[in-house]
Structure formats: structure tokens, C-alpha cells
Structure 1
Amino acid sequence: MNIVTIGGVTIGLAILTHHIVTWWPGLKCLRTDPAGAVSSLAPFLLAWSYGVLAILTVGGIIGWIADTTLWISNWLGDVALVWGVGGTTGTAAGRTTYLPLTQTGTAVVLLLTVLLLAAMKKSQYGGSLKAGAWCGICLGTSAGVTGLAAVPLAQAVNWLGSQAYGIFA
């Protein structure tokens, strides 16, 4: 599992900021139809949740892709910080403990991968889904609020896997 750097967190926050700014429907729309306006964020948030779970996987091709995505994001963010604004790089404050995914939890992540890939291909929200997954991978191991969301997500997937696969056992 890769460690997130300040550059990686910066890339994740940049993706999140870009998505929120381009999503913003305006105050009038939020007042008249808040559910409709906020529901358009659902694809991004669901893919973000998947990205957090993907970075928690410890092996296999899904874990390798998530780790590689985080590594590239760390590198891009570090380059942007050093060459773009003259800053410095370093390891971001990351969580020291991770909630491992159980065997059935990782099976659910695999099923979610299939679902996300199909949705990216067929849905009109393909860009939001890709951005959300990338953002989740970048911010899933950070120590901030977004990193803290990894614990309940992992618990939920582990529980769902135990319930779903308990039927077949």
C-alpha cells in the first residue's frame, strides 16, 4: 500500500474542488429543488466511496491499479507543488491503522468494480464516476475527514459481504 503525500492529497482535493465548482447549480436551484440538485452529486460520491475501498484492498489487480493511481497522483501533485508554486513535498498525515477488508468484503469490492466499470461505459455520468474514483483513491488514506470515512465504508462492505455470502455458505 502506498503512502499518500501532500501532493497526492492536493490532487484529490483539486479533483473534489473542480467537481463541486462545476456541479454548483446555484442558490436558487438549491432552494427550490434541493433533492434534485444534490442528487446529481450521487454518481461522484458513490464512485468516491469505491475509490476509498479500492485503495484499502491489499493485493490483486484492483489493489495494484489503486496503488499505481495513488503513486502517479503523489508524483503529479509533488511536481505541481515544487515546480508550480515553489513549495515542498513530504508525506501527508495518514492514518496509522487500516480496517482490513475480509474475504467476503473483498469479494464485494470486486463486484463493485464490475458495477463501476459497466456504469462508466454505459452511463452519461462516466466522467463523474472516473473523477470520483480517482478522488477517493487519493483521499482514502489521508488522516482528514475523507480518510476517516474509510472505516465505516470498510465495515459496511465487510458486513454486506458476510450477509450476502452467508446465504450461499
Structure 2
Amino acid sequence: MNIVTIGGVTVGLAILIHHLTTWWPGAKKLTKDPAGHAAALAPFLLAWAYGVLAILTVGGLIGWIADTTLWISNWLGDVALVWGVGGTTGTAAGRGTYLPLTQTGTAVVLLLTVLLLAAAKKSQYGSSLKAGAWCGICLGTSAGVAGLAAVPLAQSANWLGSQAYGIFA
């Protein structure tokens, strides 16, 4: 598993800020139709949750893709910090312990991967889904709010897997 750097967190936050800024309908429109505007944000948030789960997957092709995405994001963010604004790089504060996904929890992540790939290809929200997953991968192992979200997401995937596969076992 890759460690997230300050540059990787910066890339994740930049994706989040960009998406929220382009989504923001304005206070007046938001108060008129809050459910409709929240629904427009839902694909990004659901894909973000998937990205967090994907970075918690420690093996296999999905884990390798998530780790590679984080590595590239770390590199891009570090380059932007050093060459773009004259800053420095370093390891961001990461979560000390990770809640492992169970066997059925990883099966849920695999099924969610199939769902996300199909939805990104067929849906009008393809770019939001891709950006959300990328953002979740970048922020999923950070120590902040995103890192804290990893625990309930992993617990939910583990529970869902045990329930779903308990029916079929």
C-alpha cells in the first residue's frame, strides 16, 4: 500500500474543490430545489466512497490500480507543490491502522468496481464518477475526515458482504 503525500492530498482536495465549485448552483437555486441539486452531487459522492474502499483493497488488480493512481497523484501533487508554488513535499499524516476488508468485503468492492465501470461508460455522469473515485483514492488514507470515513465504509462493505453472501452460502 502506498503512503499518501502532501501532494497526493492536495490533488485529492483540488479534485474535490473543482467538482464542488462546478456543481454549486447558487444559494437561491439550492434553496428552491435542494433534493434535485443534491441528486446531481450524488454520483461524485458515491464514486468517492468507492475510491476510499478501493485504496483499502490491499491486493489484486483493483488494489494495484488504486495504489498506482495514488502514486501518480502523489507525484503530480509533489511536482505542483515544488515547481508550481515553491513549496516542499513530505508524507501526509496517514491513518495509523487500517480496518481490513474481509473476504466478502473485498467481493463487494469487486462488484462495486463492475458497477462503477458500467455506470461510467453508460451514464451521463461518467466524468463525475471518475473524478469521485480518483478523489476518494487520494483522500482515503489521509488522517483527516476522509481517513475517518474509511472505517465506516469498510465496516459497511464487510457487513454487506456477509449479509449478501450469507444468503447464497
TM-score (norm 1): 0.99
- Work out the CA distance in 2 between the residues paired with 1:109 and 1:34: 30
1:31 CA drift (Å): 0.9
- Work out the CA distance in 1 between the residues paired with 2:66 and 2:162: 24
- Work out the CA distance in 1 between the residues paired with 2:121 and 2:101: 27
1:1-169 matched pairs, under 5 angstroms: 1-169=1-169
Q: Which secondary structure does the structure 2 equivalent of 1:65 belong to?
A: helix
- Work out the CA distance in 1 between the residues paired with 2:130 and 2:151: 22
- Stretches of 4+ moved more than 4 A in 1? none
- Work out the CA distance in 1 between the residues paired with 2:94 and 2:83: 24
Query: 5+ unaligned residues in a row in structure 2: which ranges?
Result: none
Query: 5+ unaligned residues in a row in structure 1: which ranges?
Result: none
Q: Which secondary structure does the structure 2 equivalent of 1:41 belong to?
A: helix
- State the Cα deviation string for residues 86-114 of structure 1 (Å, max 9, x = none): 00000000001000000000000000000
- Work out the CA distance in 2 between the residues paired with 1:14 and 1:70: 14
1:146 CA drift (Å): 1.1
- Supply the AA of the counterpart residue of 1:127: S
- Supply the AA of the counterpart residue of 2:105: G
- Work out the CA distance in 2 between the residues paired with 1:36 and 1:54: 28
1:39 CA drift (Å): 1.2
- Work out the CA distance in 2 between the residues paired with 1:105 and 1:27: 39
- Supply the AA of the counterpart residue of 1:22: T
TM-score (norm 2): 0.99
- Work out the CA distance in 2 between the residues paired with 1:4 and 1:96: 12
- State the Cα deviation string for residues 2-38 of structure 1 (Å, max 9, x = none): 0000000000000000000000011111111111111
- State the Cα deviation string for residues 103-157 of structure 1 (Å, max 9, x = none): 0000000000000000000000000000000000000000000110000000000
- Supply the AA of the counterpart residue of 2:23: W
- Work out the CA distance in 1 between the residues paired with 2:34 and 2:108: 32
Identity of aligned residues (%): 88
